[in-house]
């Protein structure tokens, strides 16, 4: 497998280059393309994960179901499905664009910065879907009620991006009710 690359963005969210993921996250991380995904089952529960304790960035924080970086030329849908498989062993899901404009900047306790245009996607799976967390990525994965997810957003052990996303998701109602935000607001660097 080659070196995983991230897509660098300008202020207009246009691709301006690539960089190796492994060396790009530091105290002056460049603005780049990412995504977050919330897996919801058909009973309305949400898969919440704790990042692996030995991850270099933001280890051990509780957050949404999965996140990742689309590779150069990779479409959002393909990137989400790839990471669902890699991180959680989920083979298939129905995807919806929920917060296509989301972006944030966060600083970890060690000074590492995340600076991402990070569209948020909902993935719906059947109730009872098996989850097989990859221990290199995920310490714990648990199905939670939406009410419990909302409570986590008020706690410091949750990731900053989770708290910011929940502030926008909460007004939309329960996860199965989140409206499709469409694709027109996705960044120019990213297709569906």
Length of the chain measured in residues: 192
DSSP 41-54: ETTS-EEEEEE-TT
Q: Catalytic pick from 37, 67, 118, 149?
A: 67
What tokens appear for 161 in the block?
Answer: 């991006």
CA–CA distance, 36 with 55 (Å, rounded to integer)? 17
Backbone angles phi, psi at 125, to 5 degrees: -125, 160
Task: Classify the C-alpha dihedral 52-58-60-63 as positive or negative.
Answer: negative
Query: Within its chain, how far is the Cα of 138 from the centroid?
Result: 13
User: Is 67 one of the annotated active-site residues of the chain?
Assistant: yes
Decide: 181 and 99 in contact? Cβ < 8 Å.
Answer: yes
Q: Catalytic pick from 116, 118, 137, 149?
A: 116
CA–CA distance, 189 with 37 (Å, rounded to integer)? 18
User: Is 66 one of the annotated active-site residues of the chain?
Assistant: no
Catalytic residues: 67, 116
């Amino acid at each position: 497998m080659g070196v995983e690359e991230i897509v660098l963005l300008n202020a207009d969210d246009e691709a301006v280059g690539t960089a190796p993921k492994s060396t790009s996250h530091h105290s002056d991380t460049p603005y780049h393309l990412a995504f977050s995904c919330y897996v919801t089952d058909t009973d309305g529960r949400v898969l919440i994960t704790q990042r692996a304790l030995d991850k270099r960035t933001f280890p051990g924080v509780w957050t949404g179901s999965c996140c990742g970086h689309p590779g150069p030329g990779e479409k959002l849908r393909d990137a989400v499905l790839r990471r669902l498989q890699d991180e959680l062993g989920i083979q298939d899901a129905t995807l919806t664009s929920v917060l296509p404009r989301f972006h944030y900047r966060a600083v970890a306790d060690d000074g590492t910065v995340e600076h991402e245009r990070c569209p948020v996607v909902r993935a719906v799976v059947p109730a009872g879907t098996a989850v097989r967390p990859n221990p290199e990525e995920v310490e714990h994965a648990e199905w939670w009620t939406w009410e419990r997810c909302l409570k986590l957003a008020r706690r410091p052990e949750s990731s900053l991006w989770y708290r910011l996303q929940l502030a926008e998701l909460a007004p939309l109602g329960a996860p199965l009710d989140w409206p499709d935000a469409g694709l027109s607001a996705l960044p120019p660097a990213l297709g569906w």
